[in-house]
Amino acid sequence: MSTQAAFSNFKVLTFDVVGTLIDFETGVLEAVRKIGGKKAAEFTDEQIFEPYKRGRDKHYERSSEVMFHVYRHLATELGLPADDASCDVFQLSVLRWGPFADSVEALKRLRTKFRLVAMTNADRVALSCYAHALGNPFDDTVCADDTGVAKPNPEFFAYNKGRQSAFGYKQSDILHVAQSQYHDIGIARKLGYKVCWIERRQGVAGFGGTPAVETLTKPDFHFPTLKALADAAIGPAKG
């Protein structure tokens, strides 16, 4: 079977957005170091990510609102400026997290063959910013405001399954594409989806800004970048 033939049974690609298409780790690090100045520059990436994740666990609600408090938690732990103005700068930076270098072009190619659906824990405000930055590639979007829950809650996937069925698509038509083993790959595979792991941190130690898992779930497809997925499913970009 050719590489492209392996994707021929799928009609829908569902995407995790933040971490898979949008480079939130770079966004977090750049904002913290800009706000924190010289002291923040002394911290390693992991020293920043750990309190960030603890803050996000504590403030798990709508990302366009609670990142103010996530930053305050992080800054207090690290001894960085935690005043309202600093927290507000971080909150605004979240809406400006940018795409990975390959995301826009790869999504444009993938859209020629598949229905593209965003499945994100971001809220509607944040998702609208990310979709715009990505060139508005999605045929449909599902976010935490719609579902009332966040991945890895199975109800998130059930909501989308029902939504796509209204358009005539079955679960077997769907390939779920994501970076996070914790939020996406493990639970989607458990629920019977075919999954594609975009291992954005390939070759980098640790789990960065996403929660760790004890055991990695083996995906059906595995690529280091979205470009590599598009090359395999569509063929190399022309020109």
User: pLDDT value at position 103?
Assistant: 98
pTM of the model: 0.95
- Which residues, 6+ apart, have CB-to-CB distance to 138 below 8 Å? 15, 116, 117, 118, 131
Task: Please give the positions annotated as active site.
Answer: 16
Question: Both ends of the chain: CA-CA distance in Å?
Answer: 26
- Sheet containing 140-143, strands listed edge to edge, beginning at the edge strand earlier in sequence: 140-143, 115-120, 12-15, 174-178, 194-198, 221-223
Residue owning tokens 């700068």 = 89
User: pLDDT value at position 239?
Assistant: 63
- Which residues, 6+ apart, have CB-to-CB distance to 8 below 8 Å? none
193 secondary structure, DSSP code: -
Check if the beta carbon of residue 213 is closer than 8 Å to that of residue 182: yes
User: pLDDT value at position 238?
Assistant: 79
What amino acid is encoded at 108 in this protein? K
SS3 for 40-102, per residue?
HHCCCHHHHHHHHHHHHHHCCCCHHHHHHHHHHHHHHHHCCCCCHHHHHHHHHHHCCCCECCC
pLDDT along the chain (239 residues), means of 10: 79 98 98 97 97 96 95 98 98 98 98 98 97 98 96 98 98 98 98 98 92 96 97 87
